[in-house]
Chain A
Amino acid sequence: MQFGIFSVGDVTPDPTTGRTPSEAERIESMTRIALKAEEVGLDVFATGEHHNPPFVPSSPTTHLGFIAAKTDKLLLSTSTTLITTNDPVKIAEDYAMLQHLSGGRIDLMMGRGNTGPVYPWFGKDIRDGIKLAIENYHLLRLLWREPVVNWQGQFRTPLQGYTSTPAPLDGTPPFVWHGSIRSTEIAEQAAYYGDGFFHNHIFWNKEHTEQMVRLYRQRFEHYGHGSADQAIVGLGGQVFMGTTEAEAKRQFRPYFDNAPVYGHGPSLEDFSTMTPLTVGTPEQVIERTLGFADYAGDYQRQLFLIDHAGLPIDVVLEQLEILGRDVVPVLRTEFDRRRPAHVPSDPPTHTSLVAAGPDAPHHLVEPARATLEAATSTSTQGATA
């Protein structure tokens, strides 16, 4: 199982000092967080993508390429890559380039973005959000799988005789996740292609996450990629740890109370009940996190949010130390213990995808097509007989 960090990349004043870091400081902090994640034995660092203040990560592949050069094992990912407003042709090029530079240590997570004005700034209409995600992602798959692409769609200029360069490393496209909070269309999309499904989880009640993950798992099986419990699931989590629960709450509360998204709203205690937020001891974080599998099933990737709301970099790095030392090793053992043998422990990686060979379903633009056609011909034969 993979454990890691996902960062929103917000520049937020520290409410205890009133000090706002500069963009330069925030970008440097994100790099230090990624390097620390590798140092303490975590597997993944994922960066958000935003095109408006107060966020800094507008150019994820630039940043991830820089981090790739300074790390050896860390898997670099996104949370999320905007499949709606980015040109899929540029995504294909940028992430293939990053895949080469990092030696295959990347995957990426598609998302639609929830900031209305970003769509018109990039020449798109938010009301087309789902359609853009469907069309652009399908084109991205073609670009990474077919040497020459001739294509015409609704949203971008047609392509005639186009070859995306560089081709994916070892002829093997990166693994892709789809992140969605409540759009069933996106769970359906992830299931159709046999891709991973990531639920943000941290701003929602568990009943909702459970429904979305269950839908994805059922449809993954329907499309013939394996049984529902073999589908590739990732979840978010939000934690803050201290030596005692009281100490953790004392330290985190001013950040919680003033946080973007939920600050000045529900109490820390209420929000901890409503959502997976856990503020307490490492043992409490372990217990709560293990409980995620009780409703989402055995899953393959756990990403924690630990660096938002103006938390100072020293505190964040200390939290990472605790995660790496006291929490993640126990989670690895305990999740391994409860996971049945037929359920994959990890999402597909570059190494596993290359090992599966060029004839593996991953190399098909629509791996589900064969399953669906077989089902159709069976039912036709049944009708004839």
Chain B
Amino acid sequence: MTRTVVVITAGLSVPSSTRLLADQVADAVSAQVGARGEAVRLEHVELRELAGDLASYMTSGGVPTARLSEVRDLVSSADGMIAVTPVFTASYSGLFKMFFDALDTDALNGMPVLIAATAGTARHSLVLDHAMRPLFAYLRAVVVPTGVFAATEDFGGTTDLSARITRAAGELAGLVVGTDHVAGFGPDASGRRTTRTSGTDLGPVTDFADLLRGHAG
């Protein structure tokens, strides 16, 4: 079965170092999924192209454009995510946050996510663990232990960037391929939310008898 991994990038310039890093990570994930005997389809979402749609969504009380609806569906139906942002003012960029603000709160339940960030200097590297990781924890995603941070110098010098990419990609590939094997042990009694909703469909409907119970006087 072909797995789908959606690659979310929030770089603004073209070409951007954020997209450059995202492509390296995505290639590594492809290779690692392949090494586990499965195929992967990568779906790239450049948030720059959605900037107008996101502004519309935010300023119209939450009406999604057709393009934003498509991307929300794509994200929630994916088997895994690679999320890459540039560091702006000590955190992920506003555009990056705006996209995740525009998702349904159940859009990423249980989603394997690899986080990565770029910046001019390595001094910003804790953005991965102090900003991105809590964001995805809130959305109930499963963030792989290794985050990938690339400062400008990493694109030239001899650093361990590619080793980190390989390790993170291996962690993500394991989760993306392993999803099927986890299922099948019977109903989940933990109350864990595993179903993902993009917000396009209405979701499960509660029968009125259950809604009225205890409220009929």
User: Interface digits, A135-147 against B, CB 8 Å rule (1 contact, 0 not)?
Assistant: 1001100100000
Contact yes or no, A154 B214, CB < 8 A: yes
Query: Which parts of A54-77 form the interface with B (CB within 8 Å)?
Result: none
Residues of B within 8 A of A211 (CB): 201-202
- B160 interface residue (CB < 8 Å to A): no
**In the complex the two chains form, is B208's CB within 8 Å of A261's CB?**
no
Instruction: Check A265 against B55 for contact (C-beta < 8 Å).
Output: yes
| Cβ contact within 8 Å between B215 and A154 | yes
Docked CA distance A188–B210 (Å) = 11
A212 at interface (Cβ–Cβ under 8 A)? yes
Hey, which chain B residues are within 8 Å of A207, CB to CB? 69, 200
Give, as a whole number of angstroms, the nearest-CB distance from A1 to chain B. 26
Residues of A within 8 A of B55 (CB): 265-266
Q: Are the CB atoms of A274 and B217 closer together than 8 Å?
A: no
CB proximity of B69 to chain A, nearest CB, Å? 8
Residue pair B201, A192 in contact (C-beta under 8 Å): no
Chain B residues in 8 Å Cβ range of A215: 202, 205
Cβ-neighbour of A266 out of B56, B206, B208 (below 8 A):
B56
Determine if A203 and B217 form an interchain contact, defined as CB atoms under 8 angstroms apart.
no
Closest Cβ of chain B: how far from A120's Cβ, in Å? 21
Q: Is A170 an interface residue (CB 8 A)?
A: no
User: Taking the complex as formed, is A153 at the interface, i.e. its CB lies under 8 A from any CB of chain B?
Assistant: yes
Q: Mark A205-234, 1 if CB is under 8 A from B, else 0.
A: 101000110010001000100000000000
Q: Is A27 an interface residue (CB 8 A)?
A: no
- Those of B190-217 within 8 Å (CB) of chain A: 200-203, 205-209, 211-212, 214-217
- Whether B58 sits at the interface, judged by CB under 8 Å, is yes
Q: Does A175 contact B (CB under 8 A)?
A: no
* Other-chain contact of A139, B60, B63, B217 (Cβ < 8 Å): B217
**B64 contacts A by Cβ under 8 Å:** yes
- Tell whether A184 pairs with B205 under 8 Å between CB atoms, given A134-B212, A189-B211, A274-B65: yes
B59 within 8 A of A: yes
Q: Are B63 and A192 in contact (CB under 8 A)?
A: no
Q: Are B215 and A135 in contact (CB under 8 A)?
A: yes
For chain A, residues 296 to 349, give those with C-beta under 8 angstroms from any C-beta of chain B: none
Shortest C-beta distance, B198 to chain A (Å), equals 12
Question: A97 near B: Cβ within 8 Å?
Answer: no
Q: How far is the CA of A263 from the CA of B65 in the complex (A)?
A: 16
A205 touches which one: B64, B214, B215 (CB < 8 A)? B64
What residues of chain A lie closer than 8 Å to B60, measured between beta carbons? 203, 261-262, 265-266, 271, 274-275
Residues of B within 8 A of A223 (CB): 208
Contact (A151, B63) CB under 8 Å given A188-B211, A274-B56? no
Query: What 0/1 pattern do residues 272 to 308 of A give for CB contact below 8 A with B?
Result: 0011000000000000000000000000000000000
Per-residue A-contact encoding for B50-69, CB less than 8 Å = 1, 0 else: 00000110111101111001
Q: Which residues of A contact B56 (CB under 8 A)?
A: 265-266, 270, 274
Neighbouring A residues of B65 by C-beta, 8 Å:
270, 274
A32 close to B (CB within 8 Å): no
Q: Do the beta carbons of A185 and B211 come within 8 Å of each other?
A: yes
Q: Which residue of B lies closest to A202 (CB)?
A: B63
A1-19 interface code vs B (CB 8 A; 1 in, 0 out) = 0000000000000000000
In the complex, what residue of chain A is closest to B215 when comparing beta carbons? A135
* Contact (Cβ within 8 A) B217 A138: yes
Closest to A271 in B: B60
Min CB distance, B66 to chain A, in Å? 8
> In whole angstroms, how far apart are the Cα atoms of A368 and B217 in the complex?
17
The CA-CA distance from A354 to B89 in the complex, in Å, is 67
Contact (Cβ within 8 A) A205 B63: yes
In the complex, are the beta carbons of B215 and A184 less than 8 A apart? no
CB of A20 within 8 A of chain B? no
Q: A166-195 interface mask toward B, CB cutoff 8 Å, 1 = contact, 0 = none?
A: 000000000000000010110011011000
Measured in the bound complex, the distance between the Cα atoms of B216 and A275 in whole Å is 37
Is A192 within 8 A of B217, CB to CB?
no
> What is the CA–CA distance of A138 and B209 in the complex, to the nearest angstrom?
12
Cα(A138)–Cα(B66), bound, Å: 38
What residues on A are CB-neighbors of B209 within 8 Å?
A: 372
A153, A204, A372: which contacts B217 (Cβ < 8 A)?
Answer: A153
Q: Which residues of B sit under 8 angstroms from A149, Cβ to Cβ?
A: 217
Across the interface, name the chain B residue whose C-beta is closest to A270. Answer: B56
Bound-state Cα–Cα, A261 to B26, Å: 39
Q: Assess the A262–B207 pair: CB atoms within 8 A.
A: no
With A142-B217, A211-B201: A204-B206 Cβ-Cβ less than 8 Å:
no
Give the contacting residue for B215; candidates A153, A265, A275; CB below 8 A.
A153
Question: Looking at the complex, which one of A152, A188, A212, A271 makes contact with B206 (CB distance below 8 Å)?
Answer: A188
> Taking beta carbons and an 8 Å cutoff, which residues of B are in contact with A?
55-56, 58-61, 63-66, 69, 200-203, 205-209, 211-212, 214-217
Give 13 pairs: A residue, B residue, CB < 8 Å, sorted on A: A138-B217, A154-B215, A184-B206, A185-B206, A188-B206, A192-B208, A203-B60, A223-B208, A265-B55, A266-B55, A271-B60, A271-B63, A372-B209
* Shortest Cβ-Cβ A-B pairs, 3 listed: A265-B59, A135-B215, A151-B217
Residues of A within 8 A of B (CB): 130-131, 134-135, 138-139, 142, 149, 151-154, 182, 184-185, 188-189, 191-192, 203-205, 207, 211-212, 215, 219, 223, 261-266, 270-271, 274-275, 368, 372
19 A-B pairs besides A184-B205, A264-B59 with CB distance below 8 A are A130-B211, A138-B212, A138-B216, A152-B217, A153-B217, A182-B202, A184-B203, A205-B64, A205-B69, A215-B202, A219-B205, A261-B60, A262-B63, A265-B56, A270-B56, A271-B63, A274-B56, A274-B65, A275-B63
